[in-house]
Structure 1
């Protein structure tokens, strides 16, 4: 019995000791406003910990007046002297500081961004007028509404002032915007693959075209008898028709206009749009054949065509590397090798569409 009591006491002491040393968070200051500001478990201080998950998401002890501290929203708080963001004091005007609509942060002197170079400090949005700064279009219902702001003089995209006509400017979708005079490409990135860089630019691309303006989907817009789009590689494409009778959306990248397939802004008249079907990776097919990156794979049998990877495919007769027959490869035995990026068919080993070694 004594042994059991001793063990029980030790367990209790260990638990209490663990809690004393490692449990830093007590009751939330005001859970209805923020799940990130807490009273310390044993100290008379306020702590900031996102969602209370201090072990994974971090923990910061505020230099705040405990008696007067109150959260303003999830990340912002104040005491009788200072404004805090993520637990850190901010250099703002205390008396006029306000947070509206989550992303609209300002005082009498400046408008501030939460996405500045310093993770712990609000950054001043250069030249923004705090008296007139507001959402460009409050009717946008998703996260993108916070990409666009305006003041009495300018429009801002992701906190950068852009050169457009503020009175008539409006974004149509993810990639296209317009004002009374011009069409703009909205570019989040420039380049492709390893060379892709984030730019967040709104670039003037074309004089405005006459006609009705509306978005087709998130990447294409119709202006009169033209279809415009903007992508990371070409940045801007405009396709003009004598008349537009039918527009059908396929997915984010592809639409059909007047029975013509448009992929990433490029028209492919050789594709039968009515029977077109997008497959995995860069493969697709229509009633006339199978394609890799819209190049027809000569001789491929669509009835038993099989995609093996982002570059390899086969049917009962042949193996294909992208849009070319892999000569001599045994379609029945062709499979992925145990070695990185290599394939084999019992006779040869292949890499990048070339024989690199015999397996005999």
Structure 2
């Protein structure tokens, strides 16, 4: 009996010791607002731990004032004198700082991005006007909506200023945008395979051409009797037809216009459309040939 009690006591002490030294988070500050801000389990501190998963995602002991701290949303919070993001104090104007319903982060002086140059600290979106900065088009699908913004003077894509006209600019798909005067390529990355790197640029490429706009798929757009895309080394291709009777999407890279197959912006008139069949791993075939990336 004594041995059992000794073993039980050791087990309880071990559990309490592990809990005391390893547990980092205690009660949430305000669970209704944030699932990531907590009181420290044993210190008089505010802790930021993403979704409370300190074991896998880590935690940060904030220097905020414990008595006055309140979360603003999941990752933002403030105390009586400072604003915090992920527990870190941010260099913003305290009195006018806000995160609005659209997710726009701003104060009276600047608009901010969470993709700043310094990790875990807000970056300033240069030349953005905090008074007029807003969503470009609230009707866009969510993943597009949160990428496009405008102010009184410019259009911004993923926090970068573009040459687009804020009054008439419209992204059409993942690759092409227009305003009343120009056509733009939306470039997400450059390079191939392991050498690819993100750029997130919007580049003015061509004067706007006349005609009705029809989005063919995520990468091709028909404007009048022309089809435009942002593939090729030039990052823009315009194919003009005498007339366009029909278009057909094959996949992300490939469409058919009338009886011409276009692959990554390059027309392939030698391919027989009637017998064309895409295969796996970049291969395809028609009645006469087998192709790899649409090359015989």
Q: The residue matched to 1:295 in structure 2 has which SS?
A: coil
2:189 alignment partner in structure 1: 189
Cα distance, 1:37 vs structure 2: 0.5
Corresponding position of 2:72: 72
- Which residue in the other structure is 2:9 paired with? 9
Shift of residue 194 of structure 1?
4.8
- Aligned pairs for 1:242-261 (under 5 A) are 242-261=242-261
Q: 4+ runs of 1 displaced by more than 6 Å?
A: none
Residue of structure 1 equivalent to 2:56: 56
Structure 2: runs of 5+ lacking an equivalent:
none
TM-score by length of 1: 0.79
2: CA distance between counterparts of 1:121 and 1:207? 39
Match of 1:224 in 2: 224
SS of residue matched to 1:294: coil
Give aligned pairs, total. Answer: 296
CA RMSD of aligned residues (A): 1.5
Q: 1:58 to 1:255 in 2, by over 3 A?
A: same
Residues 1:86 and 2:82 are matched in the alignment: no
Show the counterpart of 1:124. Answer: 124
Q: In the aligned structure 1, how far is the partner of 2:127 from the partner of 2:63?
A: 31
Aligned positions of 1:1-360 closer than 5 A: 1-101=1-101, 103-231=103-231, 233-296=233-296
Contact 2:83–2:92 under 8 Å retained in 1: yes
Superposed CA deviations along residues 98-129 of structure 1, whole A, max 9, x for unmatched, are: 10235310011110011011012111111111
Greater shift in the superposed pair: 189-198 or 109-118:
189-198
Bigger relative contact order, structure 1 or 2, given CA contacts below 8 A and separation 6+? Answer: 2
CA contact (8 A) 2:69 2:80 kept: yes
Once residues 28 and 145 of structure 1 are traced to their aligned partners in structure 2, the CA distance between those partners, rounded to angstroms, is 31
Q: 285-294 or 136-145: which moved more?
A: 285-294
Q: Contact 1:191–1:232 at 8 Å: present in 2 too?
A: no
Q: Give the TM-score normalised by structure 2.
A: 0.95
Structure 1 residues 289 and 97 mapped into 2: Cα distance closer, same or farther (>3 Å)?
Answer: same
What are the ranges of 5 or more consecutive residues in structure 1 without an aligned counterpart? 297-360
Superposition deviation, residue 256 in structure 1 = 1.3
